[in-house]
Amino acid sequence: MDYNRFISAISKARKPNPMRETASYVLSGPPTLISLGAGKPNPTTFPYKSIQVEAKDGSKFTLDGSELSRALQYSETSGISELRSWLANLHLKYHDPPLMKTDNFDICVTPGCMNGLSKVLTSLLSPGDHVLVEDPTYTGVISFLRPLPIKIIGVETDALGLNPDSLLKVLSRWNPKDALDADSGIPKVLYTVPNCANPTGASTSMERKKRIYEIARTYNLVIIEDDPYFFLQFNAKLAPSYQSMDTDGRVIRCDSMSKIVSPGFRIGWVSGAKPFVERIVYDQQSSALHCNTVSQVLAIKLFDLWHTDGFERHLESIRNFYRAQRDAAISSLNKWLSGLAEWSVPEGGMFLWVKIHKVEDTREMILKRAFAMEVVVLPGAWFSVDSKKSSAYCRVSYSSASPAKMDEGIRRLSEVVRDEISSLSP
C-alpha cells in the first residue's frame, strides 16, 4: 500500500522535532546516561509530595518519590511505554490486528480521542480533497472539517449503521481505476463511528463492515474508525472492528478512555499502520508535546491493580449500568411518546435517535419550546453534514440522568411534541 499517497501536504512538510527525538533517547537511555541537553524542570521544585488514590473497589495506591516525579514531568510524545504496552495488549485481545503480525502497527497516546482524530484528519486531508463522512455524524468532526478547504460528502446511515449501497452510489461518480492517481479527485478518506454511533446509536453490522472494507479496497480509501463506544456494546460478544480485518493497513482507529475510565483524564489513542501513526507523532511533537503524564501514570497504576480480569469486570459493570439506563429510557419513550415518534433500540452506547412524527424539522421545537419546558434534547439537524438540511429527529441521551428524571424529561418532551403537532394541524 502506498501510504505516501494519503499523507496531506501539511503532514508531509512536518519533520521530527529534534528536541523531542533527543528526549526519547534520554528517557530510554541507561541509568548511567548524563543529560545536559533537556530543558526539563527540576523535580525538586514541584509542589506536590504525594498523590493518594482509592478506587471504588477499595484498592489504593500512592504516587510519591521518583514515581511522582515521573508523573509530573515531560514524557514520551507517543505515550509512556507501560501504557502503550497495555493498550497494545488490549488491541491484541479485542481486535487481533493482522498488522501486528507484520510489525507494521503502532500506537500514539493523545490528549483525548477528539485530539487524536483531529490530528488524523489533518495528516490525511489537503486543500481540495473530498472526504466521505457518515450522515448524520458526530458534531465534533463536522465542526473540525467545515472550516477546511475540502469537500465533505455525506454517506447515508440507517438503523444498521453506515449503508454500503449509499457508499457505492456516492463513489460511482469516480472510476476506481483512478484510485491510485493522486490528482484524480477521488476521495481518500472515509470517516465512520461503527459502534453505538453518536448520534444515532446505530451499530454497523458485520456483513456491512465486510462490504465497506472491500469497497475501501476497490476505491483505495483509508477508513478512520472512530470507536469510543466499542466497550459499551451490550452484547456479550463485542462486534469485530474494521481493524480486525485490515490486511492492507488502511484502517486508522481512534479510541478513548473517556467512556470507560474518565473524560477528565483526556486520554485517547490512535492506532494503525506505522507510516500513519508516525505522522500523528510528528504533529504531537509540535503541538501538545504529549498526553497528560499524570493521567497516564494514574491509568497504568489502575490497570496494574485490576489486571485483565479486573478490567473486564469494570467493563461489565459499566455495560450493566448503561443497559439499565437504556431500558429505562425506552420504557419512558413507550409510555409518553408512543404514536408521536419512533425509534430503534440501540445495542450499546449512550444515545437514542428519535424521529418525531409530522414535524419536518425539530430545531425550533427543541430550541424554543423544549428548552422553555426545561428539558434538553438535541435537534437532529445539528448532526447533518449539510447544516441547512431539515431533520425530523432529535438525539436523546440516557447516560447521566436518573431513570426518574429521564421519565419526567421525556414526559415534558411529549407535551412539547403534542403542542407542536397540534399547531401544524389545519
Q: Provide the pLDDT for residue 33.
A: 79
Q: How many domains does the chain have?
A: 3
* Same domain assignment for residues 176 and 208: yes
Q: Provide the pLDDT for residue 424.
A: 80
* Same domain assignment for residues 81 and 131: yes
Span 69-123, pLDDT tens digits: 999 999 999 999 999 999 999 999 999 999 999 999 999 999 999 999 999 999 9
- Asked whether 420 and 366 are in contact (CB, 8 A), the reply is no
Q: Provide the pLDDT for residue 21.
A: 67
- Report the CATH number at residue 388: 3.90.1150.10
Range of the domain at 60: 39-73
* Same domain assignment for residues 138 and 7: yes
- Asked whether 384 and 154 are in contact (CB, 8 A), the reply is yes
Last residue of a domain, one of 289, 306, 323: 306
- The strand pair at 130-135 and 341-343 is best described as unpaired
Q: Provide the pLDDT for residue 238.
A: 94
Q: What is the DSSP letter of 391?
A: -
> From CA 268, how far away is CA 231, in angstroms rounded?
14
Give rounded-to-5 percent helix, strand, coil for the chain: 45, 15, 40
* Same domain assignment for residues 284 and 388: no
Last residue of a domain, one of 253, 277, 306: 306
Contacts of 334 (CB under 8 A, 6+ apart): none
How would residue 282 be classed by pLDDT, with cut points 50, 70 and 90?
very high
* Same domain assignment for residues 124 and 266: yes
* Same domain assignment for residues 228 and 255: yes
* Same domain assignment for residues 50 and 66: yes
Whether the model clears a pTM of 0.75, i.e. scores above it, the answer is yes
* Same domain assignment for residues 319 and 289: no
* Same domain assignment for residues 348 and 256: no
- Asked whether 191 and 154 are in contact (CB, 8 A), the reply is no
Last residue of a domain, one of 253, 279, 306: 306
Span 163-173, pLDDT tens digits: 999 999 999 99
Span 135-145, pLDDT tens digits: 999 999 999 99
* Same domain assignment for residues 265 and 333: no
* Same domain assignment for residues 142 and 64: no
Q: What mean pLDDT, rounded, does the chain reach?
A: 94
Q: What kind and span of H or E run contains 372?
A: helix 371-372
Q: Rounded to 10 degrees, what is the CA torsion of 129, 135, 139, 144? A: 0
* Same domain assignment for residues 242 and 151: yes
